[in-house]
Structure 1
Amino acid sequence: MDERDELHLEVVAARSGRGPATWGQQAIWDAVSVLGDDAPRYNVSVGFQLPAARPLAAVLEALTHAAQLHESLRTRLQPDEAGGLAQILDATGGIPVTVRRCAREETERVGGELLAELAASPFDCAVRWPIRVGLVEADGLVRHYGMALSHTAADGGGLRRLARDMVMLLEGVSPRRLREMFPATQPLDQAAYQCSERGRKRDAASRKYWRTKLSEGPRALFPVRGGRTPDALFPNAVLRSPALLRAVDHVAAVHGVSGSSVVLAAAARQVSRLSRAPEPLLQVVVNNRFLPGMSQTITTLAQEGLFHLRTADEDFGALVRRVHAGALGAYRYASYDKRLLDRDIAELRGRLPDLADHSCFLNDTREPELFRPSAEDTEPPPLASARELTTLDWPVEFPPRKNLSFAMDVVDVPGAVELAMTADSALIPRSDMASFLRGIEDAVVEDALATGCV
């Protein structure tokens, strides 16, 4: 029998305060505020079976410690009449916790349903804390844990770190030890740095970089090839590739680069081939956790970097190394005040109506060194035949997005890498979307085979 309880977990912490919103908080707030009923699409969530079942009281205690450690979970955001945004850190407040009870063999299914429910409604971050938690009990113990957060409180990297901390707290690691192991800058302190002279210099340098690239880059990547109506939906293609899981890691190790650079190189080559533009330009989501004090921060840090590849027509191994070097430069300038950047772009457009086309987006969400979903305990096939297991599906269509040619997410899933691409079919027809995704897989897997991966 499936039963349900709604709890309100009271939390008391040591610090409270008020300050300006961080650049990340402000950017997500602005993005979500115009989405209307589609706002929950920006929520971030994670759910998983606990490594060891725990009493409800122990899970609630660990959640309390997590909220005390990570101030973003206790932070509300409030706009002012002048158009600014303030973050308000509460020392006291509550977290809504939904507990469902079911048969033991049903915990994973019920946990998935509960997580989807928690993530399906928007957050009122001006009034309530930006987190909801769902627990599934069976035989008197919590066996499945899930949480949904407002994107103003955490990005994917922050969510993974929060999940790790919850598991460690449940395993008996003390909050003090966690703080020592993973020192993290809190959002109020991050905002103070951004308002400092050093922070403003970083912002100014990043915006100058963007202005330069938008002045120099290609004016049009994908010409209009088909009819478009204002309400035409954008198709979504998902390529699930077991071969890429091994091939990306192998190519990265062989060439001494990151896995993200491998995927970026393959994507940039495909943009160049499909668009026939010799200098592809992509907005690349950068997690910004290489910045001082930010590697373990649980907040929203990720922003877009602007990556410009001068030429993509060369040996893939050489291309990967050159892309990696260029990407590091782009990442350096991916932390900025987006409101000021938007103002800069509007002013630049007034002088240069044909700004560089920056409508292509790549978001590699993977952090395999921190978390990779476990696969079934089966021996993976040889890489040469693994591509036979690749699937390409068209699961959904999305409302049209302004100034978007395509957006591609790279995601670790059990036993595979997924490439999920949404595109304006007037610019990139479905056949080209499929070719784009399969071309990425081909480039990486063929280089892996050529360099000894079996």
Structure 2
Amino acid sequence: MITVADQVVVGFSGDGAGAGELSWGQMDIWQAMVRQKSWLPNGVWIPLPAGTTVEELADRLRYVMSRYPAARTRLAFEPDGAPRQVVAASGEIALEVVDAGDADPEQVADELRLRYQHAPYDFTADWPIRMGAVRTHDVLTHLVMVMCHLVADGLGARVLFDELDVRSTAAVPAAQPLEQARWQSSPAGQRQNTSALRHWEGVLRTMPLRQFPESRDRRQPRHWRGEFVSYALGPALDAVRARTGAAAAPALLGLFAVALARVTGINPVAVRPMVHNRFRPGLDRVVCMLAQYGVCLLDVAGISLAEAVDRAQRTSLTSYKNAYYNPVELDDLVRRVVAERGGELELPCYFNDRTMLAQPDASAPAPAVPQLRDAVARGTFRWTTRQDIPFEPLIVHVDDVPGAIQATMFMDTHVISPADGEALLRGWEAAAVQAALDPAAPTAPPPTA
């Protein structure tokens, strides 16, 4: 059981105060929070260097709260329930210190992270960052930090931690969320939104009505989370990229589309890839929630695996360009198209590639068959969570882990069965291995033995 031994009140102040509409990225993640009944916290704990003091940790927290307007952002709600962002000029926040006693401090740090993530969150009153420290016999050993997803997406969090490490004093980018929302309401922003929604409408009107076959195994609790760790996907992908010249993201996407078509039997395949949007002017170093899901439609029938990767490379560029839009207006568009197509249109699965894969050595020999088979045999899959609180129908997050690639799947068993969910991730690995050995192999499922 976690017992807070000390609380240090940390005062802060910073620029950028004001109130206004949510930016598109903020509204997108807010809608996900409403659907999933969660404030979608992201948490981490790290070991501290010997000799770290409480005062130093208070300075870290003050730096974060003062420097980044997103860390000082809370929500207010209009009478109709519409959220608005409110950025404070100053305030106070508590840094908690927990005594581990004789317990394992790493275990206590993880328990504190879970406590922060599971504690109730008030969007209108709470600061979106929670920070605490673990102390063992008067020595600080670990720092715990949890952030609401409204503060930052993955790349925004990376900027935050990079600047925190060096206490950057560089000017904060001007395009903070309040300014983003103002631009998005401008004629230029509305032109971007109109163009993006036109792309979405084209996909929504031509994609198959069903994205998944009827689930053959509806479970209670119905929403499951699974983890697949693959030691073969990385080297296989390197070989595919070296032989085709494809970038990592579209290669992963194309092979995922092949696996999805093989499992569901449905083609063309519609997928919603996460797009970070940081290639847009002035947004690359902003600590904020900027990423949004795009949409692409991939016909992978009757072609080679290499051609599937090439089509993903070409199609994904259009998806990236059109992944910057007003999500409220997208919802209106989806409702209209669903009604016009008979009310049975299933939306595509989400695909969030967070890997940072290096460019492969084109001169390196392709991995041998025994090497890839051994790597496949080392892979592991496990179900980690079963709950009634909803996830999206199907979302796959992809991350680098030491020596491997990890895919984390959130799914509704009333939409896709647990067996098909596992088969999808293992089939994704199998398609990559097959493409590494023979890029000319067909996308059709290989014959069973």
Where does residue 65 of structure 1 map in the other structure?
63
Q: Select the residue among 112, 116, 140 that pairs with 2:110.
A: 112
Displacement after TM superposition at 1:313 (Å)? 4.0
Distance 1:367 1:227, change over 3 A: closer
CA distance in 2, matches of 1:64, 1:402: 34
Displacement after TM superposition at 1:323 (Å)? 0.6
The question of 1:266 aligning with 2:255 is answered yes
Unaligned runs of 5+ in 2: 359-369, 440-449
- The answer on whether the counterparts of 1:215 and 1:355 sit within 8 Å (CA) in structure 2 is no
- The answer on whether the counterparts of 2:47 and 2:141 sit within 8 Å (CA) in structure 1 is yes
CA distance in 2, matches of 1:400, 1:57: 39
CA distance in 2, matches of 1:249, 1:146: 35
Displacement after TM superposition at 1:100 (Å)? 2.1
Where does residue 153 of structure 1 map in the other structure?
151
- The answer on whether the counterparts of 2:105 and 2:134 sit within 8 Å (CA) in structure 1 is yes
Where does residue 444 of structure 1 map in the other structure?
432
Once the two structures are superposed, residues 176-231 of structure 1 have per-residue CA deviations (whole angstroms, 9 ceiling, x without a partner) of 24x48xx46311111111111111111111111111110111122323153758x6
Where does residue 166 of structure 1 map in the other structure?
164
Once the two structures are superposed, residues 127-170 of structure 1 have per-residue CA deviations (whole angstroms, 9 ceiling, x without a partner) of 2221111222346554422211112222222223322222233x
Where does residue 39 of structure 1 map in the other structure?
38
Amino-acid identity (%): 28
Where does residue 395 of structure 2 map in the other structure?
407
Where does residue 213 of structure 1 map in the other structure?
203
CA distance in 2, matches of 1:309, 1:56: 53
- Aligned partner of residue 9 in structure 2, secondary structure: strand
- The answer on whether the counterparts of 2:134 and 2:143 sit within 8 Å (CA) in structure 1 is yes
Displacement after TM superposition at 1:279 (Å)? 0.4
Once the two structures are superposed, residues 105-140 of structure 1 have per-residue CA deviations (whole angstroms, 9 ceiling, x without a partner) of 933222211111111124212122211112223465
Distance 1:47 1:434, change over 3 A: same
- The answer on whether the counterparts of 2:230 and 2:404 sit within 8 Å (CA) in structure 1 is yes
AA matched with 2:272: Q
- Aligned partner of residue 214 in structure 2, secondary structure: coil
Where does residue 190 of structure 1 map in the other structure?
180
Where does residue 85 of structure 1 map in the other structure?
83
TM-score when normalising by structure 1: 0.84
Q: Select the residue among 336, 339, 342 that pairs with 1:350.
A: 339
Where does residue 382 of structure 2 map in the other structure?
393
CA distance in 1, matches of 2:130, 2:391: 31
Where does residue 298 of structure 2 map in the other structure?
309
Distance 1:99 1:383, change over 3 A: farther
CA distance in 1, matches of 2:340, 2:53: 63
The question of 1:336 aligning with 2:334 is answered no
- The answer on whether the counterparts of 1:94 and 1:129 sit within 8 Å (CA) in structure 2 is no
- The answer on whether the counterparts of 2:224 and 2:411 sit within 8 Å (CA) in structure 1 is yes
- The answer on whether the counterparts of 2:72 and 2:88 sit within 8 Å (CA) in structure 1 is yes
Once the two structures are superposed, residues 400-434 of structure 1 have per-residue CA deviations (whole angstroms, 9 ceiling, x without a partner) of 75982x22221233332212223344553333222
Displacement after TM superposition at 1:83 (Å)? 4.0
Q: Select the residue among 191, 214, 222 that pairs with 1:224.
A: 214
Distance 1:62 1:322, change over 3 A: same
CA distance in 2, matches of 1:96, 1:253: 51
Unaligned runs of 5+ in 1: 170-174, 370-380
- Aligned partner of residue 213 in structure 1, secondary structure: helix
Which 10-residue stretch deviates more, 421-430 or 80-89? 421-430
Where does residue 230 of structure 2 map in the other structure?
241
Displacement after TM superposition at 1:249 (Å)? 4.5
- Aligned partner of residue 237 in structure 1, secondary structure: strand
- The answer on whether the counterparts of 1:3 and 1:102 sit within 8 Å (CA) in structure 2 is no
TM-score when normalising by structure 2: 0.85
- Aligned partner of residue 294 in structure 1, secondary structure: coil
Q: How many residues end up aligned between the 2 structures?
A: 427
Displacement after TM superposition at 1:318 (Å)? 3.0
Distance 1:58 1:424, change over 3 A: closer
- The answer on whether the counterparts of 1:250 and 1:448 sit within 8 Å (CA) in structure 2 is yes
- The answer on whether the counterparts of 2:96 and 2:133 sit within 8 Å (CA) in structure 1 is yes
- Aligned partner of residue 274 in structure 1, secondary structure: helix
CA distance in 2, matches of 1:401, 1:33: 10
CA distance in 1, matches of 2:237, 2:101: 40
Q: Select the residue among 281, 287, 291 that pairs with 2:276.
A: 287
CA distance in 2, matches of 1:228, 1:66: 44
Distance 1:401 1:135, change over 3 A: closer
Which 10-residue stretch deviates more, 409-418 or 262-271? 409-418
Which 10-residue stretch deviates more, 216-225 or 127-136? 216-225
Once the two structures are superposed, residues 323-351 of structure 1 have per-residue CA deviations (whole angstroms, 9 ceiling, x without a partner) of 12211111111111111111122222332
- The answer on whether the counterparts of 2:231 and 2:405 sit within 8 Å (CA) in structure 1 is yes
Distance 1:443 1:193, change over 3 A: same
CA distance in 2, matches of 1:311, 1:339: 31
CA distance in 2, matches of 1:402, 1:347: 24
- Aligned partner of residue 163 in structure 1, secondary structure: helix
CA distance in 1, matches of 2:433, 2:196: 35
CA distance in 1, matches of 2:45, 2:304: 41
- The answer on whether the counterparts of 2:233 and 2:429 sit within 8 Å (CA) in structure 1 is yes
RMSD in angstroms over aligned alpha carbons?
2.9
CA distance in 1, matches of 2:291, 2:352: 10
Distance 1:2 1:401, change over 3 A: closer
Distance 1:164 1:101, change over 3 A: farther
CA distance in 1, matches of 2:387, 2:246: 34
Displacement after TM superposition at 1:355 (Å)? 6.5
CA distance in 2, matches of 1:97, 1:312: 56
CA distance in 2, matches of 1:49, 1:249: 33
AA matched with 1:272: A
